[in-house]
A and B are shown apart, each in its own frame.
Chain A
Amino acid sequence: MAFEVRSEMAGIVDAIEKGVGDSVSEGDEVIILSSMKMEIPVEAPVAGRIAVMHVEVGQTIGEQHLLFSVET
């Protein structure tokens, strides 16, 4: 089953810490967003494998933008 993770806020993709195929545990930081001069980690909601990465570093995103999906 795939879990899609969306951005809770607008910002810029600062760093991507996990790539497609990487396995993740629940709570692992996958993406760091930058917003209001703060680094906001986006975590894996479940344990699994990163199936799709929808964004790249430097990309500006809006609220509810699809970030990545985790395959359990």
Chain B
Amino acid sequence: MTDERQPRADLDAVLKARAALHDQARPEAVARQHARGRWTVRQALSALADPDSFVEYGGLTRPVIDGMQGAADGLVMGTARIDGRPVDLVMYDYTVHGGSQSYLNHHKLCRMFAHAAKLKLPVVSWLDGGGARPQDGAPGRRLAPETFVLFAQLSGVVPTVGIVPSRAFAGHANLAGMCDCLIGIEGSALGLGGPPLVAAAMGVTMTPEEIGPLQAHAKAGVIDVVARDEAEAIQAARRYLSYFQPWQGPVEAPDPLALRDVVPENRRRAYEVRRVIEGLCDVESFMEMRRDFARSIVTGFARIDGRPLGIVANQPRHMAGAIDSQAAEKAARFAQICDAFGLPVLLLCDTPGLMVGPESERSGIVRRSARLLTALANARVPLMTVVLRKAYGLGFYIMGSQALRPAVLLAWPGAEYGGMGLEGAVEIAHGRALAAIDDEAVREARRAELLAEMQHAGSALETAARFLYDDVIDPAETRARLSLTMDTFPDTRDLPPRRGWIEPY
């Protein structure tokens, strides 16, 4: 559309207003943001959206207060493509009144969220700011905005990703708290109430970074992914969305033989379950969620032969892979995300069971473990189970036992089954007979004998003989077996509608 003529006055005014939104026209704002060591929102937008794919909505809005300036009223939003797939983007501009939520940019957000619901578009949010803009809060000017309700209603309808690039407090944190996947950049801070509210309520002066440092949120399971900088955070957001669409990239299979030696022969020796995941999935395809939270269970997305799936794996390196309250909740929510968006779930079982004891009971394990069972029992997507080693008690029941009707239930050669921990089972079944043996050495020898009998009965081949598993396999063929199983899965578009259930906790 090259036209050498001077534009007409009306067109000229529009072109100038639109040009004023861009970084070249806002050198002071750009300099301020760069002085903070942070990207501008337009820089982030360029990195997030495919080239020339962004269509801006509401770019010409300005603050409602007379005389107040602010490009796009502090919110850059619109449609775009990410790796070819259409999305909606909503991105706060920290250089416009601290990225605050204003009368008009709430309207803009509502517009975009309703748009996403109608067209079923994933939403990526750049949450850079500290809540409401005080100047807009005069009585009568603003009623409770529908922003948060509309965003809550997107839950499970479209994937939602949030990025916290520096500070997200109050209303920004409300949005962050509802994202399926929340990515934070190191050094950033997140919290419901910022310094003024903390000072008023608690009488202490604190910085945002002291109130809600990113690392604390990663450990609490609030942040799903920690990124070093803007580029890495944006890459993580793109990657997260890649699991919800057909994979177009290259597929490289890992060395299958590596899986034969991941589980040590010594049954007391722990190992890194991520090595099992790496040995099963397409090379570099695994993206872990909530790595620093509930570390006795590992959750993440990956691909097998280019097909995306979710993985829930017990981690023997932490608490021997016992499922505590936090692990159950981490896995339950992850399974819900997979089910909402049609990803099969692979359960890698190596657990001594659910965490017992008074401390675990105080943490609500009765209800919280039920969350995981309920999520898996009501999942519409296919489950697949591989028992790597320990399969004990209710822990195994939840981690993909026959009762959950997994599409396939496989075990590795070292699989150990028990309805409960075997030491406890010996005591319950034979405690009285053992107590009647006076000689301690004889008694302990008998106890060891009984334990060995139970271990034999629970071994992979003995339990397979009673059809506990569909098959016991060479670990090296696990990936091929799972891939063949995935060939039998129905198209996710044929899944029945999701049914609501009552969260046990």
Q: Please give the residue numbers on chain A whose beta carbons come within 8 Å of chain B beta carbons, in ascending order.
A: 8-9, 35-41
Contact = CB atoms under 8 A, between A and B. Distances in A.
11 contacts: A8-B295, A35-B319, A35-B320, A36-B319, A37-B320, A38-B269, A38-B316, A38-B320, A39-B266, A39-B269, A40-B270
Contacts of B318: 8-9
B8 interface: no
A41 B317 CA distance: 9
B320 A36 contact: yes
Interface residues of B, number: 12
A8 B316 CA distance: 13
B322 interface: yes
A35 B352 CA distance: 13
Q: Could you tell me the dominant secondary structure of chain A's interface residues?
A: strand
Interface string B426-465: 0000000000000000000000000000000000000000
A27 B438 CA distance: 48
B269 A41 contact: yes
A37 B268 contact: yes
Contacts of A37: 268, 320
A40 B317 CA distance: 6
Interface string B307-333: 000000000111110100000000000
B252 to A, nearest CB: 22
Interface string B322-346: 1000000000000000000000000
Interface centre among A8, A9, A35, A36 (most CB of B within 10 A): A36
Contacts of A9: 317-319
A38 B266 CA distance: 10
Q: Which 8 A-B pairs have the closest CB atoms?
A: A36-B320, A40-B270, A38-B320, A38-B270, A39-B269, A39-B268, A36-B319, A40-B317
A40 B319 CA distance: 10
B399 to A, nearest CB: 17
B218 to A, nearest CB: 14
Contacts of B295: 8
Given A9-B318, A35-B320, A41 B268 contact: no
Contacts of A8: 295, 317-318
Nearest to A43: B272
Contacts of B320: 35-38
Interface string B263-290: 0001011100000000000000000000
B378 to A, nearest CB: 31
Interface in B231-270: 266, 268-270
